[in-house]
Each structure stands twice: as C-alpha cells, then as structure tokens.
Structure 1
Amino acid sequence: MLEWIDWMSDPAAWAALVTLTVMEIVLGIDNIVFISILADRLPEHQRPRARQLGLMAALVTRLLLLFSIAWLMGLTRALFEVFGHGVSGRDLVLGAGGLFLIYKATTEIHAKLEGEGDGHAASDAAGASFVSVIVQIGLLDVVFSLDSVITAVGMADDIEVMVVAIILAVGVMLLLVGAINRVIAAHPTIKMLALSFLMLIGVALVADGAGLHIPKGYIYFAMAFSAAVEMMNLRLRARRRERQIHT
C-alpha cells in the first residue's frame, strides 16, 4: 500500500503518468475504431453496450498482461527460426492479429463497395451475434494490448504508474468511443477511411511479426494526414450543399 502512496510525491512519476496516459490513448485509437466498426454489425440498441464491454475487456486484458510482466517478456524469446529470423510468441500473436485485421477490413470494404443497402445492413445486424462480436473484440484486444503494455513497461518504472495510466486511458476512450462511432456512422467515407486504417495497421502488425518493424510514428502521421484531408473534403461538401440550398 505504501508503494502506491510513495510515487504520488515523486514529480518524475507524475510526468511519466501524464506522458504514458497520452501514449496509451493514442495507441488505443485503432482499438476504438475497430470496436466501433464491429459493434456496428449489431442491432442499434446493443451497440453502446458492446462498445462499453469491448473497452472494459481491453482494460482487463491490459491489466492482466501488466501483472504478468515476466510471462509477457518471455513472449519475446525466439521459439524457432525462419530464414534466419527468430520467431517469438509475440511475433506469432502480432502476425495472427494482423491477418485477422486485414481479413475483417477487407470483408467490410467489400460489403461497402458491393452496395450495402439498408436491407442488407439490417440483415447483417440481425444475423450478428452479440457474443461473437464481443469475442472478436476480446481477441483483438489481446493484440492491441501487447504493444500498449510493452510501451508502458518501457516508459515507466513503477507498476502503480502503469496501472493508473491504463485505467485513465481506458476511461478517456470510454468517453470518446460514442462520439467516434457517431462520426463514422454519419459519414460513409470516414468509415471507409477507418477501414483502410485498420488494414494499414494489420499490414504493420504482420510485418512486425515477420521481423520488419515499421515505426509507429510513420503510421500515425499517415493516418492523421489522411484524416485531415478527409475533414477538409467533408467541409467542402458541406459548403457546396449550403450553396445549392441558397440557390
């Protein structure tokens, strides 16, 4: 108990807490997008609950991994070699998660390009199982949580700081997920962009699992730049509609 109190008087610990919380939120954006898109397959009255349960599952997963640091670090040990590259348990998890992300993004994009109408969307929502959606979210939470927890371990020395940062980050994500979902649902082009982001992240995860690390800064810059361009496009389309109404 004293350890939990001692770090609160350490300015360095507070600086690490703020930095780590921001990093955890940034790393969790792709998780929010994935949860929003998966929850969209459910009937409307089940979607908020699915999003909340998905993020709570992410919180539990991250805390369990954090309290299993020895096991988590053991995942970085090579199990076997392929073409001179030592493949670890972490590589296998990231590779499998990346392939799943690519598959889900591809199938969603295909459904959109094939002209998903209201009737098709309704049948998808009716056919989607609440349990299956939560299970899929939970499995991907493991993948997203791996990098998140490894980042936490690398940035902070006190496990208490890591726990508080993860809880704060998931709390912020719970507040953001509804707004992000509304924006994605209201603008089909943003949903397509979000699916493209998920495919990009999937490719990066597969590459990372194969030993080809792509710095996350490049990925997040590409995502931020694309999102900024899309925001300008939305603003331009809105202004055109206003002009048409006035004329």
Structure 2
Amino acid sequence: MVRIESPAVNPDRLAQIASLAAGINPDGGALCAMEAVAFLAGEPVSDQPASAAPSLAAFIRTWSGGLTQAERDALILPLVPRLVGTRGSEALERRRVARVADWLVRTHLPAWFHLAKLNVEADELAGLPAILDIGDIATLCDHLKRARKRAAVANLTLRQTGSLVRAAAWDAAHRAAWVTVRDALEAAGPHVLAAGWDAAYAAAYAAARACGKAPLEPTRLTLRHSALALIEDLIAMREDAAPGADSPS
C-alpha cells in the first residue's frame, strides 16, 4: 500500500491564527478555515489545500461559512490543525463520503422525524443498514421515498413556515453534508441522486410538521454536536482500517 506522507503543522504559524474568516479574504485579512489549513501545512494559501481530504474540505468550507463568528471560532478553529495531512487514497475518500451520507440518512433525518412525532418511521430510518459505500443508497431508495411521502405536509403549510424550517432542517451542518456527498450521488446515477433529494426534503417536511408544536432549535443544536462528532470520525479514518472497522454504530 502506498503511504501518503503527512506534512507537519508549523507551530509558529499556528500561534498566528486566533480567528477564522467566513470565506476567502482577498484583501489579506483573517484566513478562512481551509486557507488556514494550507497556511499551517506550508502550502500556498488557498481554500483548497493539497494536504486536506477533499471531503473534509468541502464539509468544513461550507459549514464554517454558515456559522456566526463566535460559532466558527468555537467549533471550527480547533479542528484546523487536525485537518492537515488528512488527504488519502481514493478508497479512503470514498469511505468518508459514504460516512457523511450515512449521517444524513440515519442521524439527521431521524432526528427531525422524532421531533415531528413520526417515531415509528424515525426508528426505521435509524435502524437501516449502515451506508459503507455511496452506492449502498440504491438499496434505500424505497425507504427514503416513503419517508418523504410520510412527512409531507400541505404546500401552504410549508410556504408559511418555509424560512423558519429551512433555517433549522437545512442549517449549515446539513448544507455542508449535502455539498460533501452531492457529486458522489450524481456520479452514482439518477436513482441514487433522487434518493438523496428524498432524504433532504423529508427532513424539511418533518420540521414543517413539527413547527408550531415543538421548538426546532434544540434539535438543530443536537445535530450540530452530532456533525462535530462526524467530523471527528472522518479525521480518524485510516487507510489500513479493516473492512467495516469505521462503520457507524
């Protein structure tokens, strides 16, 4: 197996990063999260550092940009030095993308179903087989289509609660996960991509169903902490893991 040597984090440069910008700053101000990764690795400053896993970069780039300054510095800044050297083989990258898809289907979606009191459906989704490869979603198409239909509400209700629902069900962590898996879903074919959209809309419909009956913010915050644990899992994945060793529980 070919080993990819990880660059060392420059401690002097690390001491210079006290805060993160929301996005690329062409005027030379604070660095965004992925620019900071490149800076620490001694690379030319870019938001697409060569030393970071593309899946992690996509997730962090999108998530960080959707947070407030305080949230970004509390959640993302401590992760920056740990992202240096995470780039690996295509096989490792595929496993990471599958892990993000698994989080969307078996963690993010059931959380909103539970809030909407669709507990039977939530437990069914959470109990689906782990997604170990993006192609596994093809076996879940019927489950996700049923979930979307079950959670659907009248269009008027969704329009009335639209901005509030999108701010919760499609917050920064969800958008980051979707950006991370989107290309892989498209490459896997239209049925798999459609299943991904079913999962995304089912979460929004479930949030709309719960809106006005239960507060949305606690679920959103719980999923934010879950997304942070997901990132920890992605960072910890290794090339030489035994088959199924990094399977989500």
TM bracket, shorter-chain basis = under 0.3
Normalised TM-score (structure 1): 0.27
RCO (CA 8 Å, sep 6+): is it higher in 1 or 2? Answer: 1
Which structure: larger Rg? 1
More helix by percentage: 1
